[in-house]
Amino acid sequence: MRWATGPVAVRVPATSANLGPGFDSVGLALTLHDAVEARVATSGVDIRVTGMGSDTANAREAHLVIRAMRAAFDVIGAQPPGLAISCQNAVPHGFGLGSSAAAIVAGVLAARALAGADGLAALPDPAVLRLGTEMEGHPDNVAACLLGGLTIAWQSGDGPAATRLEPMADLRPMVCVPTTPLATEVARQVLPAAVPHADAAANSARSALLIAALTGRPDLLLAGTEDFLHQGYRAASMPATAALLHRLRSAGIAAVVSGAGPSVLALAAGAGGQDKVAELAGGGAWEVIPLRVDVAGAQVIQPGG
């Protein structure tokens, strides 16, 4: 194996999954990024982290980026003698903004780049999606992080698959981030094993409407983001999130729980709306972050020498 002689750098976006009715399938990439620089070392594992998750720097082999790199090297068929990574993180951890998918995609792409042509041959993008989904558990955030823009992911007979759509150019996402995180596992535990057939039918219609709204019908955003499958069941585990969601939607703002929460994503077309969202979020309990849609997805921004 001929490893890259210099470092490689990968930039990956935050993502918001579900977007209301698109449960475990629809994702949106956002202009909030983590950056990972990685190089092959002579031995051991060296990790440096700034920004979000700085307390994970001592995790060594348990660090999620390293775990993803090791998994990718296993697919490629060789492990380097050592690894050194530097992570600059802006994606909040535990707030439903795809931080784990970002770490996984960054690690897999960094490993692929360090392995050069052998890495690309063993891990084309569909294989990256499969490996990322195996580690993450579901493909929605992984697909959006990898491909950028608006994505729909699903499980096929050959494993996870995804397609990318172009969201309307003036779509303006705003993220409301609370002070306390919530583990995805906790949010998933409250979901029932089965839902009423009427709710499933209603959600099917809304998810189709969601795609129409996001790709060019802003007048349908409020109706298209109504969910019947998961947000109501999760409300008791994140009451502040449920309350903010109710305030925003009652004011005509298309708002959803971002991923498994507890962040809230508000969607609007064109400028405006940010002040209203900030007003309804109230005081300092929520940080309102205006963003754009990341249309590029994950990028290797500095190929190895």
Let me know if residue 62 belongs to a domain: yes
User: Residue 39 pairs with which residues in a beta bridge?
Assistant: 84
Q: Give the chain's domain count.
A: 2
Examine the domain organization and report whether 121 and 199 are in the same domain: no
Indicate whether 305 pLDDT > 60. no
Helix then strand then coil, in percent of the chain rounded to 5, is 40, 30, 30
Mean pLDDT, residues 238-259 taken together:
96
Identify the three-state secondary structure at position 278.
helix
* pLDDT value of residue 54: 86
* pLDDT value of residue 304: 47
With cut-offs at 50, 70 and 90, classify the pLDDT of residue 9: very high
Indicate whether 273 pLDDT > 80. no
Examine the domain organization and report whether 191 and 274 are in the same domain: yes
Examine the domain organization and report whether 175 and 276 are in the same domain: yes
Mean pLDDT, residues 222-243 taken together:
93
Examine the domain organization and report whether 16 and 147 are in the same domain: yes
**Residue 70: alpha-carbon gap to chain centroid:** 21
* Residue 155 tokens, joined: 């499980």
Please check whether residue 22 is in contact with residue 213, taking contact to mean a CB–CB distance below 8 angstroms: no
Structural domain boundaries enclosing 285:
171-290
